[in-house]
Amino acid sequence: MKIRRISAYQADLPLVEGPYNWSGGNTVTVFDSTIVRIDTDEGLSGYGEVCPLGPAYLPAYAAGARTGIAEIGPALLGLDPRALGPLNEAMDASLKGHPYVKSPIDVACWDILGQAAGLPLCEMLGGRYGDDFVLYRAISQETPERMAELVSTHRAAGYTRFQLKVGSDVATDIQRIRFASEVVGDGDRLIADANTGWLMHDAMRVVRAVRDLDVYIEQPCASYEECLSIRRRTDHPFVLDESIDSIRALLRANGDRAMDVINLKISKLGGLTKAKQVRDLCVSLGIGMTIEDTWGGDFTTAAIAHLAHSTPPRALFTSTDFNSYVTVSTARNPPLREGGRLAAPTGPGLGLQPDPAILGEPVLVID
Ligand code: MG
């Protein structure tokens, strides 16, 4: 089987709740997503999606994804999409770095591999654990009162884990955490994600001020070293996200005992092939995981669901259903949450049927 054509579609994904705000005054109202389609000479087609959280979150941006795909696509024509090892070697040989560019291509090839095998991806990624898995809800940075209200609303819809977007001024962030902690229930989990937004002295003031609360602290500062400094001065459970962008970063952080949980984003690592390596290492090392991506619609949500559903529940801290945050559906049979839980699709591969009316004409074709 050979890759015959690589196409990319662009999709605007507006948000159900309006602007999504996070640290540093960053905000996104409409996500710019890229969906890759790979066609083979044997009639199978696979899909993958990449959707950066705007251009100011990681070294990744939406137009860059499409430019990067145009750069490496010609080197992939003629390769067997089922041979994920050689495929990833070829991508890394033709473009250094840029994991987010490679992620949708890797996922589309996994989709083809699953279809060829007649198996859903979660079966090929380790096997399905139970009926479904647990989700969190991201709470956009708003006033402390509004954020507590949003936690209550989503709690009523079945969510039990809430990630508060903090990382602005210290006094308001402390209130955000305090107000939200008053509306969560026993057994719920609360995460304060600063998205690199605090300097070390800010982070120290926040963790001391909320020391009596059961809250996880996620990526308080910009660099790994700053985060490690806070980690060593707090007894809150600690999550690293932006700093864990490779296996090398994970192994270093594990050696330093720098976190209890990582946030594993598929496109940050370069696709399912590398995300599975990191996932399996974390299971063996006893590191909890939030399994997700930077953002996306149905295709991203399906890829996340297959990786999360094939992760031992003891190691899966939480996951996410990005397609419930956006108003546009790019597949006809999207995975949909029930309460605060989601299941991976049961069809072969990603198990999604794309909606051609929504995808429209490709913005890029390599053949
Ligand atoms: Mg995070």
Query: Which of the residues 2, 96, 165, 274 is marked catalytic?
Result: 165
Q: What is the mean pLDDT of each successive set of 10 residues along the chain, which is 367 residues long?
A: 98 95 92 98 98 93 97 98 98 98 98 98 98 98 98 97 97 98 96 98 98 98 98 98 97 98 98 98 98 98 98 98 96 96 98 97 98
Query: Which of the residues 2, 102, 265, 268 is marked catalytic?
Result: 265
What pLDDT does residue 62 have?
Answer: 96
Q: Give 50-100 as a DSSP string.
A: E--SSTTSSS--HHHHHHHHHHHGGGGTTS-TT-HHHHHHHHHHHSSS-HH
Yes or no: say if 58 and 294 are a contact pair by the CB < 8 Å rule.
Answer: yes
Instruction: Calculate how far, in angstroms, residue 9's C-alpha sits from the geometric centre of ligand 1.
Output: 27
Question: What digits encode the pLDDT tens for the residues 135-182?
Answer: 999 999 999 999 999 999 999 999 999 999 999 999 999 999 999 999
What pLDDT does residue 91 have?
Answer: 98
Instruction: Calculate how far, in angstroms, residue 41's C-alpha sits from the geometric centre of ligand 1.
Output: 40
What pLDDT does residue 23 have?
Answer: 92
Instruction: Calculate how far, in angstroms, residue 27's C-alpha sits from the geometric centre of ligand 1.
Output: 15
Instruction: Calculate how far, in angstroms, residue 323's C-alpha sits from the geometric centre of ligand 1.
Output: 18
Instruction: Calculate how far, in angstroms, residue 263's C-alpha sits from the geometric centre of ligand 1.
Output: 6
Answer yes or no: 165 catalytic: yes
Answer yes or no: 268 catalytic: no
Instruction: Calculate how far, in angstroms, residue 367's C-alpha sits from the geometric centre of ligand 1.
Output: 37
What pLDDT does residue 242 have?
Answer: 97
The SS3 assignment for 276 reads helix
